[in-house]
Amino acid sequence: MIKSKRQFPDLPHFASLIEWKLPTLFRTRAKIARAITIDDLAKIAKRKVPKVVFDYVEGSALDEVSYSRSRQVFNQVEFTAHTLRDVSKIDPTIEIFGKKVDLPILFSPTGYTRFMHHVGEPAVAAVAQENNMIYSLSTMGTTSPSELAQQVPDVRRWFQLYVMQNREDSMSVIKQAKDSGFEALILTVDTPVSGIRVRDIKNGLTIPPRIRLSTVFAIAMKPVWWLNLFTTKKLEFAAFRGWNKSLVELAAAIFDPSTKFEDVKWLQSVWSGPIIVKGVQNLEDAKELAKMGISGIILSNHGGRQLEKGPVPLELLPLVVKEVGANVDIYIDGGVMSGQDAYAAVAMGAKAVFVGRAYLYGIMAGGERGVQKAVEILKRDFVNTMALTGARNITEVQQIGATLRSS
């Protein structure tokens, strides 16, 4: 029998293995720094903001099946690994509309961002600028196009538009976006009416939050969030200042159920730059839009927040890319929670992916610092997956590809 030879402990060597860390007053910063996944940021976020805020970000429509299916399909992805390749140099950059971006991951337009953290949309745009990414500002944002351009002048910025019932309102925000240097418009088309978002209804969500008896308890539980709300500028929709009703009432005023393909043609007549249509959920619509000469299509189920039990974008992606991908850029969003998810979509033909919840967890966790951490996590995962599959650039990612395993 082999026996280990005993010796006296090597105390200097033992001491060299000990990591001495002084206590920190900035516990949230330390937690963000230690976060490894987007889910880690979500856990931090849940402890930092009131339930109504977290539920707005995490929730979706009705029984939340659509979002669950989106996540499930990403879990069914199978990668192909090519070995014995020199992957010492990895290039994840792509060109979008003639300009290079550092990663095929774009910031989705999300409403009410100052609701999640008082720094709001400019903080997200600042991270996009720092990392050479594209930021998309929502019509239902808490920062206007001109305000964003003034605060983060060098970020590549796109503006998301709803065709409103009053076309003059639409023209007003389009003009402001054009005058403020936004290079592209994202037209959202999957909102003829608002989806039924059960969590928001149960929570009585309004912008700004109304003060009720239950609010007193909420303030006691999350005092920092409420202090920031009360000591920074008024929380309101930049495009609808003075509005003080529920989100359902706001949606009824904004979303136009009569919007049709002719409105896309109208938009082409008033906007000279690229137009990307978001919310496409079938091949027939994608073909029609491609014929109209639009610049991009975002296959999207609105993060599961509109039509419950609708199509899953990743499942639809290969067919749409095959039929119209030669003529129009195809993007997807919905359920992208890691760099591997983004890699999967690009490998299956997407030009790039849009992320929403992923960076909103970051901003709820720690403002701009949290958003930066989310980007670092996504980029690390994406580049790591490139190396492990043997892809040295985005062209090779799409050549190697990815498949969906049958459930």
**Are 159 and 145 a contacting pair, CB within 8 Å?**
yes
Active site (annotated) includes residue 302? yes
Which ranges of 258-333 would DSSP assign to H, the alpha helix?
261-270, 283-291, 313-324
* CA distances (Å), origin 204, targets 2, 191, 207, 211, 219: 70, 21, 10, 11, 16
How many other CB atoms sit within 10 Å of the CB of residue 391?
29
**Are 328 and 12 a contacting pair, CB within 8 Å?**
no
Structure tokens at 341: 């998810």
List CB contacts of 153: < 8 A, sequence separation 6 or more: 181
Structure tokens at 364: 């709820």
List CB contacts of 257: < 8 A, sequence separation 6 or more: 192, 193
Would you mind telling me the total number of residues written for the chain in this entry?
A: 407
Q: What is the 3-state secondary structure (H, E, C) of 44-84?
A: HHHHHCCHHHHHHHHCCCCCCHHHHHHHHHHHCEEECCCCC
Annotated active-site residue in 13, 117, 118, 302: 302
Concatenate the DSSP letters of all residues of 196-254 into one string.
Answer: --HHHHHHT-BSSPP--HHHHHHHHHSHHHHHHHHHSS----GGGTT--SBHHHHHHHH
CA 97 to chain centroid:
20
Structure tokens at 274: 């690229």
List CB contacts of 237: < 8 A, sequence separation 6 or more: 111, 112, 140, 141, 142, 207, 243, 250
Catalytic residue set:
302
